[in-house]
Amino acid sequence: MKKQEFLEELKGYLKVLQDEEQEDILDEYSQHIEMKKERGLSEEEAIRDFGPVQQLAGEILQAYHVKPEYEKEMGKGKYFKGIHLLGKGMEEESREKSSSWRSHKEQAKALLGENGKKVRQVVRLLGRKIIYFLKLPFLIGEKVGKRWRKRKGMDGIRTEQAADHEKGAGRILRGTRRSVVCWIAGFMGCLFSSVSWCCRLGWNFCVLIATAGLVCLGLLFLFLFGGLSVLWMRGYPLAGVVLGCFGAVLCFAALSILSCTFFWVKQKGTARATERISKVVTIQGPMKERAKIEMREEDE
Amino acid sequence: MNAQFKKGVLELIVLESVRKRDMYGYELVEEVSKVIDVNEGTIYPLLKRLTNEHYFETYLRESKEGPPRKYYHLTASGILYRDSLEEEWMELQERVCRFLEEQSGGF
């Protein structure tokens, strides 16, 4: 059967429905056929998968609760007759699936054998290298920050932790060029912090102005609310306007509180940076642990 | 598998599939076919019925190839209906299993 024939026949059965509904249904089916054709099936095959057109139309009409004589014709009734065997059937199928999955896995294991072990080791090693490179920028950033602070005299005493970090990062910045690099890094750090300071100043100024404006508007509406409610008490028909003013007062109060949260406080920025670094460390930590455990397992 | 079984659980499977994300008809047919082998024609009438009963909302979205597709979205009442169906299904399945076990254990 061709697509056009199928749609025509289906349309014939759906005449009881409104025109838009008919079109909607036919659209869905023709789209479905198109998609099947894209998958490489022929038009006939795609349509055959729908089953008999009459039965299909009957099921569609059931969805609208229309005309019992149509439903009778299409043979409903049998719907839930055999459902009590359902549980067992489903269970069996799932059991079949899981057992076949297990056998696949075993096969794969046997196939890989010794080579598989080697491949796994190489993959693990590669993974560790990649993580190290990902971590590199953070290590450098940390080191640069420390050096710059020390130069400024903010970080007089070197803690144990800092020493550890420097030992780690020292591998990266080795050799005679160290002092030049440090100087450049310090300069960049200085530049970055001054730019960020300017940005913060500008941003906070904008937020301050916005907040002030919102507060002023809120106060204005509060006064309006007061005045209008007095008039309303006297009998003017101003109930709606008074309610509106009340709403506006609440709204502006909430908005001004919201805008207060937009102030850029300095601690936030540094907190975020340390959070990022600590995240990297926490990602690293468990992975190392896991690697160790796996190594131990392998040894056994 | 028994065709009547499939019909019985089809509604639950369709509702569950759409709960995760909105889907269009053909996509949904494919998703359902992963679980049970079902006649493609029967899913559209089911979708239609569930939409008429306000368990689904539909909207059109442009697609890269071909005409715009009709997506199905599960409504709040659809979610409630799905939950009740799931409960019923669990209870039915449990009871049937228990019954079968008892029967086979007796002999």
Cα(B44)–Cα(B62) distance, integer angstroms: 20
Return the pLDDT at A156. 44
Q: Which residue has the tokens 């916005």?
A: A210
For chain A, domain boundaries? 3-80, 83-117
Q: Which of A26, A27, A28 to substitute to test the interface with B, most B CBs within 10 Å?
A: A28
Residue A204's nearest CA partner among A112, A271, A266 is: A266
Which one is predicted more confidently, A69 or A160?
Answer: A69
Give the pLDDT confidence of A145-186 residue by residue, as tens digits.
666 665 555 444 444 555 555 555 555 555 556 678 778 888
Question: So what's the pLDDT on residue A293?
Answer: 57
How far is A56 from chain B, CA to nearest CA, in Å? 6
> Highest-confidence range of A64-73, A286-295, B46-55, by mean pLDDT?
B46-55
What pLDDT score was predicted for residue A88? 42
Q: Where are the beta strands (DSSP E) in chain B?
A: 23-24, 56-61, 69-74
| Percent of chain A scoring above 90 in pLDDT | 15
Query: CB count, 10 Å around CB of A259?
Result: 19
CB pairs below 8 Å between A and B: how many? 93
Residue A78 to chain B, least CA–CA distance (Å): 8
Q: CATH no. for residue B27?
A: 1.10.10.10
List CB contacts of A77: < 8 A, sequence separation 6 or more.
none
Interface pTM, i.e. ipTM: 0.78
* SS3 state of residue A288: helix
Mean pLDDT of chain A: 72
Instruction: Spell out, as residue ranges, where chain B has pLDDT lower than 50.
Output: none
- Could you tell me the pTM of the whole model? 0.42
Report the pLDDT value the prediction gives residue A92, as an integer from 0 to 100. Answer: 47
Rounded CA separation B61/B34 (Å): 25
Residue B87's domain spans which residues? 3-106
> Which residues, 6 or more positions from A119, have their beta carbon under 8 angstroms from its beta carbon?
A112
DSSP one-letter string for B51-82: HHTTSEEEEEE--SSSSPEEEEEE-HHHHHHH
Tally of domains within chain B: 1
- Tokens, residue A3: 């697509």
Q: Is the pLDDT of residue A121 over 80?
A: no
pLDDT bracket for residue A89 (50, 70, 90): very low
Chain A residues near residue B92 by CB distance under 8 angstroms: 83, 86-87
Angle at Cα B18 formed by Cα B42 and Cα A17, nearest 5°? 45
